[in-house]
Amino acid sequence: MDWRVWLSIIAAIIGILSAIDQWFRPVFRPLFLFLFRRIGKHPPSVETMIEVPLSKGPKGDKDTPINIRIPRSPTGIRRIEISVAIEYVDGLPAAEESIRKRFNKAMELKTNREYEKALKLLRECLKFASLPKQLNVIYNQIGKCHGFLFQYDQAITNHEIAKKQALKAESKEGLAVSLWDLGHWYSMQGKQNEALKYYKNSKNIYRKIGDKKNEATLMINLASIYEAQGELGKALTLFKNTLEISKRVGSKENEGYALFGIGAYYYENKMELGRPLEYFEKALSIFRETQNVEYEAKVLWSKGLIHFINKEYEMALNCYNSALRINRDIRDRGGEANILDYIALLYLITNEKEKAQEYLEQSSKIEMNQMSESEKSRHELFLGMYYGISGDTKKSREFFNKPEKDKID
């Protein structure tokens, strides 16, 4: 079947999905919604139509453009949800060597995204730890590793154990961390009301103990959930309040998150393009200053998609390639596949089929178990397109003919 027919099929699928109120949700990477996502009670995103110029047919007939519907909901823009950054609480840095050495190595492995290896060492730490404060920290980190492996039930089980240990130790900081992480993993499963409950309880603890930085970070998470639920006034107020608090207490990273969130709000809900770019530029500058490369990549990707929608393809490609380099450096394979897919889409839009196929081939080699369910669902659409234009119609149909329940998490 001609590749143009398959491009028409993918366009139709994206168009159908764009009319559905329940979108794909992410998993980012702790923190953002991707192009195809569930947005709860929020109305569907406004679409933009992009014209794809096709090469002349066998009879030399005129170029026939195809309109592809691209939902205005860029990956990395819609949701900013930060997984708790606290790695050490209470006495672990001063724990005996048998615990501390293993724990420090586990944290190093976790930073390098080697979660299975980190889990093995953290479980060894449990054999030597006895104090509730230590157990709280270790179980929290075990929960995080399971969460980053998309094993949400195991993540929640371990954070519940961590919460009980924090209560035993009467550790307010440890309890706040456990509640925060519980909220995060519930949110990643689309259980927003549960997430709100845990986030609010964690924020209240930080407020009571005077930790303005973490209180502000949780305000960003709450704002993201309110926005996803359609409570836009609450969301924007929280983003702006967080920005002011972050400036006051000197938290540059939170300032960057808030700027990113405000830009995302104006992009999706006010249907603007210029204004979000101003906020994204400021956020990008902060993330570079603070060496937050994960969020640097997210901002670059989001900027790229706005340029893409504006048909500023060279600027979009520059942003995509910069984000791609970062994702490869930090071993974010799901993020890498995502950007490869959209570089391929850009080349299809500009009628460079061979380059598009090259990038789709690269993304097809990334293992699905390194992606969240939402990333997998979106990636499968691109794989279907890849096999279609490669001439493997049988394999292409395997992706396009999947039941709808498998395409929406």
pLDDT at residue 1, as a whole number? 52
Q: Is 312 helix (H, G, I), strand (E, B) or coil?
A: coil
Looking at 139-148, 184-193, 336-345, 394-403, which range is the least confident one? 394-403
Asked if residue 89 has pLDDT above 70, the reply is no
Compare 92 and 368 and report the one with higher pLDDT. 368
pLDDT at residue 178, as a whole number? 95
Give the tokens for residue 13.
Answer: 């699928």
- Please write the tens of the pLDDT for every residue from 343-371: 998 998 888 888 988 998 898 888 776 67
pLDDT band for position 83 (cuts 50, 70, 90) = low
pLDDT at residue 48, as a whole number? 39
What is the pLDDT averaged over residues 153-171?
Answer: 95
Q: What percent of the chain is predicted at pLDDT more than 90?
A: 42
Residue for token digits 């395409």?
407
pLDDT band for position 309 (cuts 50, 70, 90) = confident
Compare 327 and 46 and report the one with higher pLDDT. 327
**How does the average pLDDT of the chain come out, rounded?**
76
Q: Using CA atoms, how far apart are residues 30 and 217, in angstroms rounded to an integer?
A: 13
Q: Using CA atoms, how far apart are residues 235 and 224, in angstroms rounded to an integer?
A: 7
Q: Using CA atoms, how far apart are residues 210 and 215, in angstroms rounded to an integer?
A: 9
Q: What percent of the chain is predicted at pLDDT more than 70?
A: 70
Neighbouring residues of 31: CB distance < 8 A, sequence distance ≥ 6: 79, 80, 81, 82, 83, 295, 298
Q: State how beta strands 66-71 and 47-52 pair.
A: antiparallel
pLDDT at residue 270, as a whole number? 61
The gap from C-alpha 10 to its chain's centroid, in whole angstroms, comes to 23
pLDDT band for position 34 (cuts 50, 70, 90) = very low
Asked if residue 168 has pLDDT above 80, the reply is yes
Residue for token digits 């836009």?
232
Which helix (H) or strand (E) segment holds residue 182: the answer is helix 172-188
Asked if residue 33 has pLDDT above 50, the reply is no
Asked if residue 9 has pLDDT above 80, the reply is no
pLDDT at residue 390, as a whole number? 67
pLDDT at residue 96, as a whole number? 79
Model pTM score: 0.72
pLDDT at residue 287, as a whole number? 95
Asked if residue 7 has pLDDT above 70, the reply is no
Check if the beta carbon of residue 349 is closer than 8 Å to that of residue 66: no
Asked if residue 403 has pLDDT above 60, the reply is no
Compare 365 and 205 and report the one with higher pLDDT. 205
pLDDT band for position 303 (cuts 50, 70, 90) = very high
Give the tokens for residue 150.
Answer: 């998309």
What is the pLDDT averaged over residues 104-125?
Answer: 92
Give the tokens for residue 392.
Answer: 């493997």
pLDDT at residue 2, as a whole number? 52
pLDDT at residue 123, as a whole number? 95
Neighbouring residues of 14: CB distance < 8 A, sequence distance ≥ 6: 36, 68, 69, 70, 71, 381
Highest mean pLDDT among 88-102, 194-208, 336-350: 194-208
Q: ∠ CA(367), CA(39), CA(305), 5° rounding?
A: 60
